[in-house]
Amino acid sequence: GAGVSQSPRYKVAKRGQDVALRCDPISGHVSLFWYQQALGQGPEFLTYFQNEAQLDKSGLPSDRFFAERPEGSVSTLKIQRTQQEDSAVYLCASSLRPGQKVPNEQFFGPGTRLTVL
């Protein structure tokens, strides 16, 4: 596609429900990132994939958060037993490859706004 797409754009969940957020990166992009953006804040790093390998998941806030990218393209961020503090915009970004000397530009999707009631 022309850019990074995410679905759904909006998700309302009841506390305790499981949710799955999808990211379709730009075709051919090797690196994929998930960020959490709370209201009025900048994005915070959650996890990073290079192809299908999850190389860094240090930003995931708890073991209720799980991300996968099984075929090295589409990625899913799953949140189990959602809590109110999980309410945020979840951004996905992709880039062509790990930078050789400088970081490559990350292309962001429009995000999924998750509201947990």
Partner 1 sequence: AQTVTQSQPEMSVQEAETVTLSCTYDTSESDYYLFWYKQPPSRQMILVIRQEAYKQQNATENRFSVNFQKAAKSFSLKISDSQLGDAAMYFCAYTLSYNNNDMRFGAGTRLTVKP
Residues making contact with partner 1 (CB under 8 A):
3, 31, 33, 40-45, 48, 50, 55-56, 89, 91, 93, 95, 98-106, 108-111, 113
Q: How far is the CB of 87 from partner 1 (least distance, A)?
A: 15
Nearer to partner 1, 45 or 66 (CB): 45
Residue 49 or 116 having the CB closest to partner 1: 49
Q: Nearer Cβ to partner 1, position 25 or 109? A: 109
* Residue for token pair 């799955």: 20
∠ CA 15-20-23, rounded to 5°: 140
* Count of beta carbons in the 10 Å neighbourhood of residue 109: 21
The residues that bridge with 86 in the sheet, in sequence order, are none
Least CB distance from residue 72 to partner 1, whole Å? Answer: 16
Q: How far is the CB of 27 from partner 1 (least distance, A)?
A: 18
In 1-117, DSSP assigns E strands to 5-7, 10-13, 19-24, 31-37, 44-50, 53-56, 65-68, 75-79, 88-95, 107-108, 112-116
Q: Output 79 or 88, the one with its CB closest to partner 1.
A: 88
Least distance from partner 1 to the Cβ atom of residue 22, Å: 16
